[in-house]
Chain A
Amino acid sequence: MNWRRLKNIIWKELLDLSRDKRTIFAAIIVPIIFYPTLGGLIGYMFKAQPAYIAIIDYDKGEYSEELKNTLLNYSRYFGNVNIFTNYTNELQVLDNPNIDLTLIIPKGFTENITESLNGVGIVYIKPNVVSSKASEAQTLVEMAINALSNSIVRKRIKTALPDVEAERFLNPIKRVVEYIGPGGRTATPEERFLFLTLMIFILGLYFSMHPAIAFVTDSVAGEKERKTLEALLVTPASRIEILSGKLIASLVLSGVAAVMNTLGVFLMYTLLFGGLIGVQIPIGGGLGLIGIYAIDVFLTVTVTVSIALLISIVSGSVRSAHSNATALITVLALVMFASIYGDIEKIASQTLPLLYLIPYTHSVLALVTFVKYDNGFIFSIRHLLILATYTLLLISLGARLFSGERILIAKVRRKGRKFRLKLFA
């Protein structure tokens, strides 16, 4: 290995990269703009968008009034909720498609409750299925109904069993909830959001891979297509020097992309929760998880670079290299999407050995095991090392394939007969 030549190749690649506005934008600018904007936007949409609840009161009795007042009181603390009590029938509600939920209190509601100790009043809850806030509105309405039910039961207990303490009568079992983390330690309140944190981080991993695919396919298949590679291969630089130069430049891009991605995802997280809940929530897992995420992004991008490199070597053009690499990497990354909906160690115990063959399984497990196990750091490092091993194996294979013959001549199959297609001559 001649270091002077290697340095020269890295210099050329980085100079070329620094002037490639599209890749710079996708790898460095997008994470720092896209993720925080996405997080802020989702949070803002949830916070800014009010839930509309229409109450149609046919009863106009004591308890229907109490239910309305409870609902109005709760809505003040619940966030952005508007309650409409001016509707007199259901047809009027239909004119307003923004109503998320309609609560109908039929005539006789109060009378049914008060007629005996066994009396039951009925209300009709009608959530709008196309509304994103219907579930939030339903939660609020049910909280108000529960509060009213509780109040009625207390009154009934006082009437029927004057010596009984209503609170103890209603709650014979006292619940004490303590959140625990790996190893049985008491967890901090923000750790309840770990599942969501991992979900966001895994999405961040997926999006971080794509700029690297574009860079590598352009660096190898692009040079081939632009016919600059042929002249380079005839210089005294060895194949391994050329390949290493390209890889090191890709790793520099991966490193910068990893830093920007981590920063972007961190901002997305805080903005998202700031918008959703109204308060900034520190990341469960703390700096340790952020550190593991940064290394994970770097290694995930690196393994992606290695896969894209192999495909670029055997592809005839940037377009085919890029589309083939994107297709393969997207298929392999399905494991990431699967892991968003659950713990893949739990749901895929039968197929886990097969999933272990996919490098991105280890990208996911490096994060999951860090928060899941006591001494999660050790499990996490194990998966990160597997990712690094995959990278080295793929790079070694790439070095073997990176020959003039393979680069200049693409093997194709047509009509079942194998032959070689001359690309340049």
Chain B
Amino acid sequence: MLAVEIKNLHRFYGDFEALKGVTFEIDEGEIFGLIGPNGSGKTTTLRIIATILKPSKGIVKVFGYNVVREADKVRKLISYLPEDADLYKRLTGLENLLFFAKMYAKTNDEIKEMVRFGIAISGLGNRIHDKVETYSKGMRRRLALARTLMVKPKLAILDEPTSGLDVYASVNVRNSIRKFVKETGSTVLLSSHNMLEVEYLCDRVAFISKGKIIAIGSPNELKEKYGATNLEEAFVRAVESELEET
């Protein structure tokens, strides 16, 4: 079954067209990366899939549910980590996890299980009992990721999950995502600037530039297609070839 199905997606902000007919699909259980520079339309695409924004035109479905007409059903299946998302600073790490767990869980056992899983993903140990305002940026990002993944969504949407983190913290986050997918079999859609990260994590990747998908495939397929040694080079060549065509 398709986890995400996007057909001819357009989105306008006033006169500005942020998305110009985006089309792609994500299979269930896949880690899919959306790569593009700032302002290319990554966050807008993710927000539409996450039911926060509405498409101006086109169809977006998550596990067969339309994100506009069946937003309530979609929200039960997804979890979203916004770019630079913060947490409730006056609450402890544990209280933050508890709050989000109660949003999804139906029983106390489910809540306990989610929080236990969240604590494990966060790797915060005893610091989980401290207020978030005392955490470093890396700790906050790990907790935000834990909050997103602990509910074991069928689709986890991660917008720049390692944005602003140092190398060590980024490696931690990447390992957590990998481990999560292995344990739960969930689908992950992530956006990133970091080509190395995407190459390490993703089964398939879509290059997005100026609101258009310019290439889709596995990292190896894309490197092969553009005769590149790494994904970064492949992206640059894909953008150049798109410019030549237009």
Contact = CB atoms under 8 A, between A and B. Distances in A.
A231 B99 contact: no
B221 to A, nearest CB: 28
Contacts, number: 95
Given A4-B102, A424-B83, A20 B51 contact: no
Interface residues of B, number: 42
A385 interface: no
Nearest to B43: A425
Interface string B108-131: 000000000000000000000001
A8 B102 contact: yes
Nearest to B80: A234
B86 A228 contact: yes
Contacts of A425: 18, 39, 43-44, 47
Interface string B12-25: 01111010000000
Nearest to B39: A425
Give the residue among B51, B76, B95, B99 with the most A Cβ atoms within 10 A.
Answer: B99
A233 B95 contact: no
A230 B80 contact: yes
A234 B153 CA distance: 12
Contacts of B131: 19
A405 B71 CA distance: 14
Nearest to A408: B52
B72 interface: yes
B55 to A, nearest CB: 11
A119 interface: no
Give the residue among A5, A19, A227, A231 with the most B Cβ atoms within 10 A.
Answer: A231
Nearest to A4: B102
Given A226-B89, A234-B52, A236-B76, 8 more contacts: A15-B90, A20-B90, A230-B80, A231-B100, A233-B51, A236-B103, A405-B53, A409-B13
Nearest to B76: A236
Interface stretch (A286-294, A323-331, A414-422): A414-422
Interface residues of A, number: 31
Interface of A: 4-5, 8, 11-12, 15-16, 19-20, 226-228, 230-238, 404-405, 408-409, 418-420, 422, 424-425
Given A20-B90, A226-B86, A233 B13 contact: no
Nearest to B51: A234
Contacts of A19: 90-91, 131
Contact of A404 (B51, B86, B100, B103): B51
A233 B79 CA distance: 10
A424 B39 CA distance: 11
Contacts of A238: 72
A232 B157 CA distance: 14
Interface in B95-109: 95, 99-100, 102-104
Given A408-B47, A420-B13, A425-B44, A8 B103 contact: yes
Contacts of B103: 5, 8, 232, 235-237
A20 B131 CA distance: 13
Nearest 4 A/B pairs, CB to CB: A419-B14, A404-B52, A425-B43, A234-B80
7 contacts: A19-B90, A228-B87, A231-B81, A231-B148, A234-B50, A234-B51, A236-B75
Give the residue among B18, B52, B87 with the most A Cβ atoms within 10 A.
Answer: B52
Contacts of B95: 12, 15
The dominant DSSP class at the B interface is: mixed
B102 A230 contact: no
A419 B13 CA distance: 7
The dominant DSSP class at the A interface is: mixed
B150 interface: no
Contacts of A15: 90-91, 95
A425 B90 CA distance: 26
B196 interface: no
A238 B169 CA distance: 34
B82 interface: yes
B28 interface: no
B54 interface: yes
B9 to A, nearest CB: 15
B212 interface: no
A145 B26 CA distance: 100
Contacts of B102: 4-5, 8
B238 interface: no
B209 to A, nearest CB: 15
A231 B147 contact: yes
B2 interface: no
B91 A12 contact: yes
A420 B12 CA distance: 9
A236 B65 CA distance: 14
Contacts of B78: 234
B197 interface: no
Nearest to A230: B82
A424 B90 contact: no
Contacts of B14: 418-420
B85 interface: yes
Contacts of A5: 102-103
B88 interface: yes
Contacts of B52: 230, 233-234, 404-405, 408
Interface in B3-17: 13-16
Interface in B201-239: none
B38 to A, nearest CB: 9
